[in-house]
Amino acid sequence: MQIMMPILNPDMTFYSLLAVTKRLNGIGKAEEISRTLFSNSSAALRHDFSPDLDVFCNKTGNAFGNPIEVAIKTSTLPYFLRFRPQTTHDKALGLMAGSTVEPLKFVLGLPPGPSGAFLPLSYCNECLKEDIINYGYAYWHRKHQLPTVMVCPTHSTPLNYAKLRINGRGRSGLFLPNDDEIQKYQSKQLIGSAKPILERLSTLSSMVLDQELSAPYSANSLKATYLHGLKQQGLLSVSGRVRAKDFVNRITKHYEAISNLPTFDRIVGSRFADGLLRLVRKPRVNFHTASHLIMVDFLFGDWKLFNSVYLWEQQMDLPLENGTKLQATCPSHKNLSKDLEDHLLELANRFNNKKGSLTSLAKQLNININTAMRWLGKLGLIEIPRKPKTISAKIRANVINLLKQGCPLKAVSYQTGLSSSSIDRICNEEPNLQKIWKEAHKKYKRQKEREKFLNFLTLYPSTTQSELRQSNDSGYRWLYNNDLLWLSQHLPTKRTIKRAQSLPVKPRVNWVKRDNQCLAALKVINMENLESWERIKPKAFLRRLPKLSFSPRLDKLPKSKLWVQGEIQRLNKL
Ligand SMILES: [Zn+2]
């Protein structure tokens, strides 16, 4: 069957492309399109992420690009991958080329829930009218489907929603926003103060969908960027600690108007806001793009500013030629010496006028190239060219070797002269290396902490357990949490002398006295009233004793025991 394919319009979703194809070819059933362009009848009907893109690309002769290009151009995937490492990109794109996309949500860390055809689609009334004028039909836009977009990024109008009708087999057809068959409903009226915030976040979201980060992904650089933002906002203490309480107060207040809306409620709601600090505390954890968006908006207010700081922080991560490192925190313009400033302006001028490469110009002006690049990037005088650092096979092998031994990342960086982001990249590129390093690092750390502990004991042979607990240098706390068995075997013996002096001596038990008391009590109890379930056993005697000042144990009370045995014999004979 020959099929005519439409042109892919700006920001058009894959689902829209197929719906237009159905219309263009006068095909009645959605399943028929699916069977023609894919190898089964349902692949075409999902409207979030489509599986089998490799089959589609094959059948369409790559008219829309290869599976990866199609996935990036026609789905919301780039939005979800923007703040994720390369490994996640590869995994997600691989899934979209293959026959099942169900695990994709898991890879992206999206909450399980309605998916495929059941999720409502969003559209903007203004965009709909414009599309009909420009293209003759309306289609679903990618940016309207993002979870953090509630007003149109172009028109600022609140989005409308549409539920797709589902047939008897639970499948929807291929519909477009202007179709009568779909059930449309207006969005809820937004409260006034929410609108400007949602407008900002929508614009930011559509930028995140379309624009790459200014430098390759690095958890460390992102962390450093957010720390810089926190510092600018006065949310870091002098010692560099995050003022967590202030942060939570300010962020919940700032986003109060949207704190009940879906997606945002779990980020800026008062119960969740401190979770955002994990972006700087545990940067390697995977976060939803929405969390990054809130941080970018709150700290920088602008995608461009955030990206220039991010680029700067990544430049900071490169090792300096002369071995010294500039202060990691961003120096202000005023700190520049007049001399250096003049040189930098001259350098930027020559570079922008294409008078030579940065390296040659820096040499001419006698400025260290790394210093120059950082200042120029920070001051926004030039666009710093992105240059991946080439790593020789030998250095790479050395890094892998050190990582396999579990060396701390800082130590690997120090020994190899590579930046932590380069090491990060190597770690992510080698299959399983991350996992191997984690395991080995645990052993490495345990060894170090044990050594620390034993050294401490050698240094302070008369130390007590409570001193060990309180000291930061004893390794006690780490071992207590991670290596308790070993710790318990190596603790110094408790100071018994000290305890003997401080605790009152327990008086010795007078067993003879107890025996006499017990015997006297036994002699007055009544053994005639045995319950039906009771046997004539010592326990039956003990149960009938009045309350004594001790709990009687017959094996410690010989006279009482003898008397009970005699009584048992007597009663059994009756
Ligand atoms: Zn619009």
What pLDDT, in 10s, does the model give residues 489-507? 888 876 544 444 555 566 7
Res 503: pLDDT: 53
| Cα-to-centroid distance, 129 and ligand 1 (Å) | 9
CB 153 within 8 A of CB 202: yes
pLDDT band of residue 365 (cuts 50, 70, 90) is confident
pLDDT exceeds cutoff 90 at 211: yes
Q: Ligand 1 centroid vs 456 CA: distance in angstroms?
A: 67
Cβ atoms of 294 and 288 closer than 8 Å: no
43 alpha carbon – ligand 1 mean position (Å): 29
Share of the chain above pLDDT 90, in %: 31
The enclosing H or E element of 568 equals: helix 558-573
How many Å lie between the centroid of ligand 1 and the Cα of residue 196? 16
CA of 288 to the centre of ligand 1 (A): 25
Q: Ligand 1 centre and the CA of 127: distance in Å?
A: 4
pLDDT at 319: 45
Distance 66 CA to ligand 1 centre (A): 29
Please tell me the distance between residue 132's alpha carbon and the centre of ligand 1 in angstroms: 13
Identify each DSSP E strand in 317-411 by its residue range.
none
Q: Each residue of 367-402: pLDDT tens digit?
A: 877 677 767 766 666 665 433 345 677 788 888 888
What average pLDDT does range 151-177 have in this prediction?
Answer: 79
Helix, strand, or coil (residue 439): helix
171: CA distance to ligand 1 center in Å?
Answer: 28
Q: Distance from the CA of 157 to the center of ligand 1, in angstroms? A: 7
The answer, yes or no, to whether residue 346 has pLDDT greater than 60, is: yes
More confidently predicted of 72 and 533: 72
Q: Which of 330, 222, 232, 312 lies closest to 276 in space, CA to CA? A: 222
Residue 331 has pLDDT above 50, yes or no: no
Residue 561: pLDDT band with limits 50, 70, 90: very high
**pLDDT, position 78:** 95
**According to the model, what pLDDT value does residue 327 have?**
37
Centre of ligand 1 to C-alpha 457, Å, is: 70
CA-wise closest residue to 211 among 126, 296, 307, 290: 307
Find the 263 Cα to ligand 1 centroid distance in Å: 21
Residue 253 Cα to ligand 1 middle (Å):
29
Region 65-88: mean pLDDT is 92
> What is the CA(81)–ligand 1 centre distance, in A?
24
What per-residue confidence (pLDDT) applies to 140? 95
Taking the centre of ligand 1 as the mean of its atom positions, its distance from the CA of residue 109, in whole angstroms, is: 28
What distance in angstroms lies between residue 80's CA and the mean position of ligand 1's atoms?
A: 22
**In the predicted structure, residue 239 carries a pLDDT above the cut 80:** yes
Query: What are the start-end ranges of the H helices in 109-243?
Result: 125-135, 194-210, 219-232
Give the Å distance between the CA of 11 and the centre of ligand 1: 12
- 134 CA → ligand 1 middle, Å: 14
**Residue 324 or 162, more confident:** 162
pLDDT attached to residue 386: 39
Cα(121) to ligand 1 centroid in Å equals 14
Q: Which residues of 300-329 are buried (b: 16+ CB within 10 A; e: fewer)?
A: beebeebbbbbbbbbbbbbbeeeeeeeeee
Q: Which tens digits make up the pLDDT trace of 15-42?
A: 999 999 999 998 888 888 888 898 877 7
Measure 135 CA to ligand 1 centroid, in angstroms: 15
Distance, in Å, from the CA atom of 265 to the CA atom of 257, rounded to the nearest integer, reads 10
More reliable by pLDDT, 312 or 235: 235
Q: Between the ranges 319-328, 339-348, 546-555, where is the mean pLDDT highest?
A: 546-555
Which of 164-173, 236-245, 333-342 is predicted most confidently?
A: 236-245
Q: Taking all residues of the chain, what is their mean pLDDT, rounded to a whole number?
A: 82
Q: Is the dihedral of CA 386, 391, 397, 402 positive or negative?
A: negative
What per-residue confidence (pLDDT) applies to 248? 94
Report the pLDDT averaged over residues 104-124. Answer: 70
Strand, coil or helix: 141: strand
CA 154 to ligand 1 center in whole angstroms: 5
> In the predicted model, what is the mean pLDDT of residues 71-95?
91
100 Cα–ligand 1 center, Å: 32
Tell me the percentage of the chain whose pLDDT exceeds 70. Answer: 86
pLDDT of residue 111: 64
CA dihedral 347, 348, 349, 352 (to 10 degrees): 120
| 418, two tokens | 């590579």
Report the separation in Å between the CA atom of 341 and the middle of ligand 1, taken as the mean of its atom positions. Answer: 46
Q: How far is the CA of 112 from the centre of ligand 1 (A)?
A: 29
How large is the average pLDDT for residues 154-172?
Answer: 75
Distance from residue 153's CA to the centre of ligand 1 (Å): 7
Tell how far the Cα of 155 is from the centroid of ligand 1, in angstroms: 4
Ligand 1 centre and the CA of 93: distance in Å? Answer: 29
**Residue bearing the bigger pLDDT, 359 or 381:** 359
Any idea which residue has 């922080």 for tokens?
A: 313
- Has residue 254 got a pLDDT over 60? yes
Report CA(118)–ligand 1 centroid distance (Å).
23
CA of 124 to the centre of ligand 1 (A): 5
Contacts of 143 (CB under 8 A, 6+ apart): 11, 149, 153, 202, 205, 206, 209
Position with higher pLDDT, 193 vs 226: 226
Kindly state the greatest CA–CA separation across the chain.
123
pTM over 0.75: no
